[in-house]
Structure 1
Amino acid sequence: MHPQWQDPEVIARLVRTARTVAVVGVSARPDRPSHQIAHYLHRQGIRVFPVNPALQEVFGLQVYPDLAAVPEHIDIVDVFRRSEVVAPVAEQAIAVQAGALWLQLGIEDEASCAKAAAAGLDVVVNRCLMVDHRDRTG
């Protein structure tokens, strides 16, 4: 992975300024990291848009089938999907003109990240948004 996709300045700016986060692959199960991180962000006052075509609601929030259905601009698309299925999520992030594509720990797709970066999105790879948010916002 390119070192710029773990740029501390980009990460710090994103966690300080993001007001909307779409969590792709959110789970209804409270023991799953996608659920925990989405719920954490929601409790921090960030507007969270859970994305999962198999769900209707999670911790009181409407769940959207895909990024195109999200009714507001998305600052960060936080991805909790296997690396091999990142490409369509990255394409959707580009199509909706999201601000950033963030791939959680263990998720990598160099081609999709390069495409998102070329389209003007900030890209963060193999990082936990919740950990970075906690570390930089106290």
Structure 2
Amino acid sequence: MHKLIRTLGFAMLALSLASCRLIYTPDVQQGNLLDKKNVDQLQPGMTKRQVLVLMGSPSVNSPFNQNQWDYVSTQQHRGGPIKIRTLTLTFNNDVLVRSEGDFFAEDAKKLVDDSKKYHANYPVDETQGDKNTSGTPEKKDGGSGDEGH
């Protein structure tokens, strides 16, 4: 009976810890990671080969529609809601005719602010770190072997 109560107690403790999000949940990024400067270089009239060299392989390439490439990325921050970003490139006769999507729809300032809130900013006072204030290096005992001669 005592073992049953102890086991139920541990199970309830584990369940309460899991529900309080004390267990670490990592960020998950999947799909294509595109660089905005590469996406900005896309121009109508580029060939599929030029786009492939610039952007890399699309994450979705349908065998039924050879004229559409989809670049998809999903991001989930610590178990939160999943953000899906897409970029669709449309070709006609192997030439880029249109690009559309919301891959870089977020405001750049918002992204910078989000990245700063997860990094601690510790003030550094360089004068406090040095214990030697005389300006000359200190000798360590037993290192020279000249003592007592």
Which of the five TM-score ranges fits, normalised by the shorter chain?
Answer: under 0.3
Name the structure, 1 or 2, with higher relative contact order (CA <8 Å, separation 6+). Answer: 1
Indicate the structure with greater helix content: 1
Structure with larger Rg: 2
TM-score (norm 2): 0.23
Normalization by structure 1: what TM-score? 0.24
